[in-house]
Amino acid sequence: MAKQEAVSLSDTFAEFKELKNIDRSTMVSVLEDSFRSVISKMFGTDENYDVIINPDKGDFEIYRNRKVVKDEELEDSNTEISLTDARAMGEDFSLGEDVTDKVDFASFGRRAILNLRQTLASKILDLQKDTLYNKYKEKVGTIVIGEVYQVWKKEILLLDDEGNEMLLPKQEQIPSDFYRKGDAVRAVVAKVDNKNNNPKIILSRTSPLFLQRLFELEVPEINDGLITIRRIARIPGERAKVAVESYDDRIDPVGACVGMKGSRIHGIVRELRNENIDVINFTNNPSLLISRALSPARISSIHIMEEHKRAEVFLKPEEVSLAIGKNGMNIRLAGMLTEYQIEVFRDIDDSIDTEDIFLNEFLDEIEPWVIDTFKSIGCDTAKQVLAIPRDELIKRTDLEEETIDDVLRILSAEFEDSDARYDSDEEYDDQNEQE
């Protein structure tokens, strides 16, 4: 029985010795604490024990210190030893002297060894959690690669090359992302939680920081500090705008980021599921930055209201749709990038129909959010809406067909009433002339 317990104890020590990512001093400290914890539970104290760990040899030694007392005064056999027993050890001990003898831990029995294994397992688990947390806490903001282990509805479980678990939540995935078990995934470490000493590594592919790290990997000038990414705005999987700046006049930051025939940016676009990326030159001039951010539209003029962080942008009618973009995406990204609330206006000139009516005049008949939707596609007046085919309006606004029909009916009726009033006025004038 004692032999089996000794083997079990040896196996326990060997298992711990083989653990990775645990330095020598930490291993010695944890092992010693575990032995002392078990001894303390058994005898009420561990103060009279010396525990010596030999990590190189893979073994340990335990020594017990006891005080020599008279045989009839012996009260605690753990801290005291009778004079008779002391002298039986082969030395001429006297009362009050300290006796040190080597202890065979296996002799404490199966329960002691089981407690040691459980204590070690608990300490090892805590140590591994602390090591994992500290390791990934330093990696926040960096790109890691994980292998898909399991795909769930709300998140994906990935494993790193050491088998550590990482989570990629659904909201941190690009909408068109699709993975199967065994696929390799690149993402940035967004945060590391450690609630109840249970590290949770959260990854992200939608963070602007992920896009920045990809640029740093693909563009040597960024990695070397010759080009700086000043701002990033993203609608993950759809479109992004990146403002870059170079401190060396000889370097074209936009050209360097795009690469020859788009060679550098193509790899980033593929990683981001064909997300379109606009790279522009950064400037501290807000008007110029807004102008560049609204590319490919060409603006006529800008009025900046700095105190309100608002910008009124005036464009020719044919440029408005370019500035706004599909589903208002271009102007939204420009606002995110420049940190200004951008409002688009058409240049008013003699070619504009003076009989046209601004949509705001219909607020008593049409819901404000519906009017805002039409404005987002570049329609500020009634005739601009009526000039677009019904099917095209439905497609561009993503409004219900019934809503589109109601708006068209209201706007058309306004001009029909105007024509009717105009005809009535003409008839009245004709009658007066005849009379």
Name the residue among 302, 299, 303 with its Cα closest to residue 315.
299
- Residues 298, 411: one domain? no
Question: Domain boundary at 350, 371, 394, which?
Answer: 350
Name the residue among 105, 122, 117 with its Cα closest to residue 43.
105
CA–centroid distance for 257 within its chain: 24
What's the predicted TM-score (pTM) here?
Answer: 0.66
The three state secondary structure string of 323-358 is: HHCHHHHHHHHHHHHHCCEEEEEECCCCCCCCCCCE
- Residues 12, 109: one domain? yes
Whether the pLDDT of residue 430 is over 80: the answer is no
Measured distance CA(12)–CA(15) in Å, rounded: 5
Q: What is the CATH number of the domain that holds 227?
A: 3.30.300.20
Whether the pLDDT of residue 72 is over 60: the answer is yes
- Residues 192, 296: one domain? no
**pLDDT: which is higher, 404 or 348:** 404
Is 376 inside any structural domain? yes
- Residues 274, 296: one domain? no
CB burial of 319-333 (b: ≥16 within 10 Å; e: otherwise) equals bbbbbbbeebebbbb
Is 19 inside any structural domain? yes
103-153 pLDDT, tens digit per residue, is 887 777 788 878 888 888 888 788 888 888 999 999 999 999 999 999 999
Is 243 inside any structural domain? yes
Residue 1: the pLDDT is 40
Q: What is the CATH number of the domain that holds 150?
A: 2.40.50.140
- Residues 228, 200: one domain? no
Percent of the chain with pLDDT over 70: 88
Name the residue among 21, 23, 78, 24 with its Cα closest to residue 53.
24
261-313 pLDDT, tens digit per residue, is 899 999 999 999 999 999 999 999 999 999 999 988 988 889 999 888 999 99
Whether the pLDDT of residue 412 is over 60: the answer is yes
**pLDDT: which is higher, 62 or 172:** 172
DSSP for 209-228, written as a single string: HHHHHHHHHH-HHHHTTSEE
- Residues 130, 164: one domain? no
Instruction: State the pLDDT confidence band at 320, using cuts at 50, 70 and 90.
Output: confident
User: Three-state SS for 126?
Assistant: helix
Is 316 inside any structural domain? yes
- Residues 35, 128: one domain? yes
Whether the pLDDT of residue 44 is over 90: the answer is no
Residue 7: the pLDDT is 40
- Residues 127, 11: one domain? yes
Bond preceding residue 55 cis, omega within 30 of 0: no
Residue reference for tokens 């309006």:
393
- Residues 86, 122: one domain? yes
The number of domains in the chain is: 5
Is 15 inside any structural domain? yes
Question: Domain boundary at 305, 320, 350, which?
Answer: 350
Q: What is the CATH number of the domain that holds 25?
A: 3.30.1480
Q: At what angle do helices 329-338 and 317-324 cross, to 10 degrees?
A: 70
Question: Domain boundary at 235, 265, 282, which?
Answer: 282
**pLDDT: which is higher, 1 or 104:** 104
- Residues 10, 118: one domain? yes
Write the CA distances from 268 to 107, 373, 397, integer angstroms: 64, 32, 30
- The residue segments making up the domain with residue 190 are 145-204
- Residues 104, 10: one domain? yes
- Residues 373, 387: one domain? yes
